[in-house]
Each structure stands twice: as C-alpha cells, then as structure tokens.
Amino acid sequence: MSTDDGSPAGEGGAPRLGRRPSTTQAELSHVALTLFAERGFDDTTVDDIAAAAGIGRRTFFRYFASKNDLPWGDFDAQLDRMRAYLDSLPDDLPLMDAVCASVIEFNRIPPEEVPWHRQRMRLLLGVPALLAHSTLRFQAWRDVVAEYAARRLGVPADSLEPQALAWTMLGIALAAYEQWLVHEDADLTELLESALRMLGERFAS
C-alpha cells in the first residue's frame, strides 16, 4: 500500500513520465465507502466500484490489493506518524507513559472528521470480513509499539515483553473503539484514557 504505487496524480515534483494514473487510492476509497454506505459491504462487488469510479476491474487491483483494503486508506502513513511521535518523546519519560500517550495521540481525530472516521471504523469493526482482515493491519501497528518498547527496554523486538505490551495496547484501543461506536456522543480520547486508567487500577491488585 502506502504511496509507492506511483499514483499521487497531480503535484509531487517529478515531471511525470508516461501515461498518468487515471485516479487515486483516495478517490477510489471514497467512491467505495459511498457504495458501502448505500448497499452494504457484501452487496457491493469490485465491478460495482470499478464501474462507479470509471476504471476497469483490472485497474482497480492496481490501486488496492484487495477489496478489504478499501476502508483503510493509507494506513502506513499513519504508522509513520505514530513512529515519529514516539521518537519525539524524551527518553526519561517512563515507558508506559510514553506508550499510553502515543496511543491517545494516534487516535486523536479532528472534530470535523469524526463522522467520517466513525463510519469507517463501524465498517472495519462491524463487517466480519473486514474485522478479520484488519488483524493484518493491527499487526503492523503492534510492530510499531513493540519496536519502540524493545528499544526502550533494550531487548529484541520479538521478545515477550514488548510483544505483550503491544498486544495489550491494541486490545485497550479496540475496546475503547467499540464503546465509541456504540455511544454516539462519546469522546474517543476520554474512552481511551479511562480504559488505560482502568487497566492500571485493575492490575494494581
């Protein structure tokens, strides 16, 4: 995914060589999300999406490796943002504080994008096929957390402690998301904070 498919039609700098891409991931994603909202995920075929976007079915699969990837946009860019945030934190900040802060920061969303993001997440966590596929994305997210924790702890990234920490953080975040989707008026940041706080209290026993 990410932007290595050479598609950012328009600016970028490179004077373009060869035929220009006829669309973008973002546009395809948008078209698809609209269709999903109308007919539902399962009742929307890739042909429908390609037709609605005015491209061939074969071309669709050059922009997205699978139908399941549509709601994700370019997650890799988000991961880079998270990595950068973690690296910007001072090393004397306790590990748990750093990780908790980054989870909160990663999931901070501008108010105007809340409805949009809500729809995306409702899809991702509500449609079984998408929830299953999401696991693979979450794995990449966990790796970011685990690598940071491993560096701070001075242990390999694939050892128990960073991995367990990363899994835990993912779990907490998803539990908060589920609440957020159910309660229309809830604030995601607050939910994340209380989930994290709860974890600390519960384990203090």
Q: Which is nearer to DNA, 61 or 93 (CB)?
A: 61
24 closest CA partner among 65, 58, 73, 72? 73
Interface with DNA (CB under 7 A), residue from 2, 39, 62, 159: 62
Buried b (16+ CB within 10 A) or exposed e, 55-84: beeeebeebbeebbbbbbbbbeebbeebbe
Give min distance, CB of 116 to DNA, in A: 23
Summarize as ranges the residues that interact with a second copy (CB under 8 A).
Answer: 94-97, 128, 131-136, 139, 158-161, 163-168, 170-172, 174-176, 178-179, 182, 191, 194-195, 198-200, 202-205
- Residues 59, 21: contact at Cβ < 8 Å? no
Give min distance, CB of 75 to DNA, in A: 16
How crowded is residue 126: how many other Cβ atoms within 10 Å of its Cβ? Answer: 12
Question: Which residue bears the tokens 């060589």?
Answer: 17
Q: Which is nearer to DNA, 7 or 102 (CB)?
A: 7
Rule CB under 7 A: say whether 65 interacts with DNA. yes
Helices (H), 92-187: 95-106, 114-126, 128-153, 160-182
Helix, strand or coil for residue 196?
Answer: helix
CA–CA separation, 99 and 169 (whole Å): 8
From a second copy, DNA, none, interface partner of 163 (C-beta below 5 to 8 A by class): a second copy
Q: Binding segment for DNA among 51-59, 114-122, 158-166, 180-188 (CB under 7 A)?
A: 51-59
How crowded is residue 95: how many other Cβ atoms within 10 Å of its Cβ? Answer: 17
Query: Site residues for DNA, window 24-43 (CB under 7 A)?
Result: none
Tell me the number of residues near DNA by CB under 7 A.
28
Rule CB under 7 A: say whether 13 interacts with DNA. no
Q: In the numeric block, which tokens belong to residue 12? A: 């970028």
Q: Which is nearer to a second copy, 31 or 180 (CB)?
A: 180
From DNA, a second copy, none, interface partner of 62 (C-beta below 5 to 8 A by class): DNA
Give min distance, CB of 42 to a second copy, in A: 15
List residues binding DNA (CB under 7 A).
6-7, 15-23, 44-47, 54-59, 61-63, 65-68
